Amino acid sequence: MLRALLKNTAGIASVEFALLSGFLIAVTLAALELGYGYMQYNQVQQAARTGARLAAVSDPVASDMHNMTGLGSASAGDPMPAYTRICSGAAQTCSGGSYDGNAMNALIFGPDNDGTCAATAKARRGLCDVNADIERKHVTVTYEGSGLGIAGNPAKLTPLITVKVSDLNFDFMVVDAFLPKSFTKIPDIEVSVMAEDLRTRS
């Protein structure tokens, strides 16, 4: 009877499928999670690019740059002396200068500064219109002298502008159930551009 049982191959396909199905499901879910995660990373990267391009033609978040002349250590017409302003949306401060919340909001919500995050025309897009998870606390804007500006009253500022988006998490479908959020952080993304038409209200 035992010999007959060992020779019986009925249902072997079902057993093989049961053994392999778990592995196949895991591989499929992993591929979906990787694709979804890449899409989210790419979306945040595109938002940072949008914010950087917008910062290049908008009022500076460091509002003291409106009155910056560089004449303390240079003569009119000389290259603008080195300067750096790091403006944190989380702390709502700028190192070495004053913080303009409206200018930061214009980067977050777009040129219309409508206070909403939604798909909109390209010309009206801000960071959160590209990725609705981005808030002011996730954004840091740095203005750094590039050596191209000219001291004077008013000065002609041409800073290198860097927009950094940080402290966002991936929103996984399955992984989030097993890992804490600290393990699924999106890497910080920085995009730098040269100021093109920096408004100074002067």
pLDDT at 201: 45
109 pLDDT higher than 90:
yes
> pTM, whole model, 2 decimals?
0.82
For residue 135, name the pLDDT band (cuts at 50, 70, 90).
very high
Domain boundaries, the chain: 2-194
Nearest to 162 by CA among 143, 137, 147, 187: 143
